[in-house]
Structure 1
Amino acid sequence: MAKLSETELRKSIKEQNMESIYYLYGNEKLLVRHYTNKLTEKIAGKSPSEFSFHVFSGADDIDQIAIAANVLPFMGGKNYVNIKDLDACRLSDTAFAKLLEMLANLPDTTSVVISALTIMPDMSKTKNKKLVAEIARLGVVAELNKIGQAALEKQLASWARKQGATLTEAEAQRLIRYCGTDLSTLQNELEKLCAYAYGREITQEDIEKTVVKNLEARVFDLSKFVLTGQYDKAFGQLDMLFYQKEEPVSILAVLASAYVDMYRVRVAIENGKKTADIAACFDYKRKEFRLTNAQRYAKGLPTAALRESLAALIEVDEKMKSTPCDKQVLLQELIVKLMLLAKKEYDVG
């Protein structure tokens, strides 16, 4: 009985070292759902009896859950109870006490899986902490969080192999840049890619043709065109974002974050630091590629230009949020200003 890592949980299920109580939570919801399904299949089987298979939501009556937990399984096997999205701090003191009593007195024939499929229980709250401690004593607790960049790339390559295609490290990085780090999104996009490139290596061209870029990737393309002086491409990309109904405020926020990344990298380098030092100070977990991109595209841009660009971004942000205005026109004017700043500084230095 303990707290297990994702690797330890996977191993215990594979080796069928099963416990009576499981609590699964964390910010990587695909993993929470995946292991809930794995446990369901291992405990209840692929075709469970409706008499010994019970699913509840966190808002359901604890008394009804307790009744289900004490049902004797039909024709042998296990009685299975799954409680989804239980947030203990939302329970009354009476209901919480009943829950703990039920878990402490489960029949040997019953298994309970509590899984936070869509919520993030606040583990600083007393009841949630107490529930986790009790389940860790009686069974297994697994916190399933987002994995690091390198592990994510390996996971994508593994998924690709299982679907009949090959994904290199470089193209895995490209896929993450375009889609973000959400495993569900990456899995869906990779399925399309593997179907398109079945039996061979997935190429950059395949990704460009089939993958739907998220807002961050599309605005990064915009910033790249601005910094490299590609006027037509910059405004073509901006027009496409408007056509796709992206909010100007959202576009501005992502564009500003790209410039903040570049400024952080520049200041770090000027002070003898590395990008790894920036990642340690700010939240770049599974987004390390942003720093790599920032270093590449800020290389020819003087620090003064970055400061003036950030000032221009702040000015437009304040206008958008404080005065009635045509936000699309403001963004268009901003793009022109950013390109002029970059060109002016290049000419000077």
Structure 2
Amino acid sequence: MPQKDPKTVKSELKKGELQNLYYIFGKNIPDVEKLTKQIIRAAVGDNEEFALNKLEGRYLDTSELYDMIQMMPMMSEYNCILINDYNCEKPRENMAGLRAEDLNKKLIDVLKDIPHQTIVIFNVTGFEINAKTDFKTGKSIIKDKNKKLADLAAKIGALVECPIKTENELAKEIAASVSARGALISLDRARELAEMCQSDTLTIRNEIDKLCAYVGSGEITADTLHNLVHRQSDVTFFKLADAVAAFNKKSAFEALDELMQDKDNRGAVLANITGSFIDMYRAVCARRCGKQIQDVKENFAYVWDFKVKNAFRDSSRMSVRRLRECISILRDTNIALNSGGGDEKTILEQTVTKMLMTKN
């Protein structure tokens, strides 16, 4: 079967048509999570406690998965298995003595014969798949090792991409979301909000909550947007933190240059960089204590899953000692920015240089 779009899958679900294998990916993480929940609900209804098994991709045991796939459903028509963030590039948290190709082959062999009573869902929310756009079809073509798993889903089930929506599509959704909260926003202002947030749905949702809390039952005007919404950069703070973790000088300074384009919010740049490193420090400490993503999310009241997942992924390349050194450097930078009259860009460039010089 060819790659499907989320609307087609939702239409099939309404008709009661389910596939035995789904692979859901894309840059629109909220839509990936939303579609996953809709498939699960169509499969098991309110019986998730008995009929749904949730597995983390980095700890996936193919023998255990095979046994789960062969199980008969309990109190439901289907036995449903959700596997989050299985990365064929690095299938295990610890790859010592293991080859990705061998692990991926075992997994694909297990998935080739899924019985009719079982539905297996792979979704990707915590890492980015290397893909290129086919300009003829507008769909993404996966280029890395995840392609084999995605191709299998396309052949025997459903391969679904949830791409970032256009500003016009987002504008309609923004207007509807604002209206549901009792406030007003014009389509022009909604398009402007989408553009300011670089069409990032996670950021847009957060900004809508903030704007609606501010205006109450009033209207979100151009002045409201300009006063309350920080225009986002194409390069995220996560990418800068990831570049430092990987000792990638070129990517780190490219990210910083992009972030520093916003001259009115350079203090916010440091605050967000610091926040990313604190997230990673929490993640690496949690891993050492045997804690998982959900534990960190609950203990520190994170709203977004992706922040914690990014922190777990990026912190795997940094020691506790190096993270502590980086946070100390960021602390000293904050003192320097608040107490001196030095050039902010120069100070931040020196900060990134110092962090890149730290060692694991």
- Taking structure 1 as the reference length, what is the TM-score of the superposition? 0.58
Contact 1:2–1:139 (CA<8 Å) still a contact in 2?
A: no
Show the counterpart of 2:201.
Answer: 183
| SS of residue in 1 equivalent to 2:269 | coil
| SS of residue in 1 equivalent to 2:24 | strand
| SS of residue in 2 equivalent to 1:63 | helix
| SS of residue in 2 equivalent to 1:68 | helix
Q: How does 1:23-34 map to 2 (within 5 A)?
A: 23-34=23-34
| SS of residue in 2 equivalent to 1:3 | coil
Show the counterpart of 1:330.
Answer: 343
Give 1:129 shift. Answer: 1.9
Show the counterpart of 2:277.
Answer: none
Contact 1:121–1:128 (CA<8 Å) still a contact in 2?
A: yes
Pairing 1:165–2:183 present: yes
Contact 2:44–2:76 (CA<8 Å) still a contact in 1?
A: no
Aligned residues: 234
Contact 1:22–1:112 (CA<8 Å) still a contact in 2?
A: yes
Give 1:212 shift. Answer: 4.0
* Residues 197-206 or 73-82, more deviating: 197-206
Contact 1:153–1:172 (CA<8 Å) still a contact in 2?
A: yes
Give the alignment partner of residue 124 of structure 1, picking from 129, 133, 143: 143
Q: 1:328 to 1:63 in 2, by over 3 A?
A: farther
Give 1:114 shift. Answer: 0.3
Task: Please state which structure has a larger fraction of its residues in helix.
Answer: 1
Q: 1:41 to 1:327 in 2, by over 3 A?
A: farther
Pairing 1:96–2:77 present: no
AA matched with 1:136: A
Show the counterpart of 1:213.
Answer: 230
| SS of residue in 2 equivalent to 1:49 | helix
Give 1:164 shift. Answer: 3.5
Aligned-partner Cα distance in 2 for 1:41–1:71: 19
Give 1:204 shift. Answer: 3.2
Aligned-partner Cα distance in 2 for 1:22–1:205: 44
Give 1:176 shift. Answer: 2.7
Show the counterpart of 1:11.
Answer: 11
Show the counterpart of 1:300.
Answer: none
Q: 1:65 to 1:329 in 2, by over 3 A?
A: same
Contact 2:168–2:191 (CA<8 Å) still a contact in 1?
A: no
Show the counterpart of 1:246.
Answer: 269
Aligned-partner Cα distance in 1 for 2:149–2:27: 18
Contact 1:49–1:74 (CA<8 Å) still a contact in 2?
A: no
Aligned-partner Cα distance in 1 for 2:110–2:265: 53
Question: Alpha-carbon deviations, 1:312-349, whole Å to 9, x = none?
Answer: xxxxxxxxxxxxx999633599xxxxxxxxxxxxxxxx
AA matched with 2:57: G
| SS of residue in 2 equivalent to 1:89 | coil
Contact 1:56–1:82 (CA<8 Å) still a contact in 2?
A: yes
Q: How does 1:46-85 map to 2 (within 5 A)?
A: 46-50=46-50, 52-59=51-58, 60-85=60-85
AA matched with 2:182: G
Give 1:135 shift. Answer: 1.0
Pairing 1:148–2:166 present: yes
Question: Alpha-carbon deviations, 1:35-60, whole Å to 9, x = none?
Answer: 1122122212234233x321111112
| SS of residue in 2 equivalent to 1:39 | helix
AA matched with 2:52: F
| SS of residue in 2 equivalent to 1:90 | coil
Q: 1:164 to 1:94 in 2, by over 3 A?
A: same
Q: 1:132 to 1:328 in 2, by over 3 A?
A: farther
Q: Which runs of 5+ in 1 are unaligned?
A: 218-236, 251-324, 334-349
Q: 1:18 to 1:215 in 2, by over 3 A?
A: closer
* Residues 141-150 or 153-162, more deviating: 153-162
Q: RMSD in angstroms over aligned alpha carbons?
A: 3.2
Give 1:30 shift. Answer: 1.6
Show the counterpart of 1:40.
Answer: 40
Aligned-partner Cα distance in 1 for 2:229–2:197: 7
Contact 2:47–2:76 (CA<8 Å) still a contact in 1?
A: no
Among all aligned residue pairs of Structure 1 and Structure 2, give the percentage whose two residues are the same amino acid.
Answer: 21
Structure with the greater alpha carbon radius of gyration: 1
Give 1:199 shift. Answer: 5.1
Give 1:85 shift. Answer: 0.6
Q: Which runs of 5+ in 2 are unaligned?
A: 92-99, 131-141, 235-261, 274-336, 347-360
Aligned-partner Cα distance in 1 for 2:173–2:30: 13
Question: Alpha-carbon deviations, 1:13-72, whole Å to 9, x = none?
Answer: 33332211110011121211111122122212234233x321111112122222211211
Aligned-partner Cα distance in 1 for 2:64–2:180: 42
Give 1:193 shift. Answer: 3.1
Q: 1:22 to 1:90 in 2, by over 3 A?
A: same
| SS of residue in 2 equivalent to 1:88 | coil
| SS of residue in 1 equivalent to 2:114 | coil
Q: 1:327 to 1:57 in 2, by over 3 A?
A: farther
AA matched with 1:25: F
* Residues 109-118 or 93-102, more deviating: 93-102
Aligned-partner Cα distance in 1 for 2:143–2:166: 24
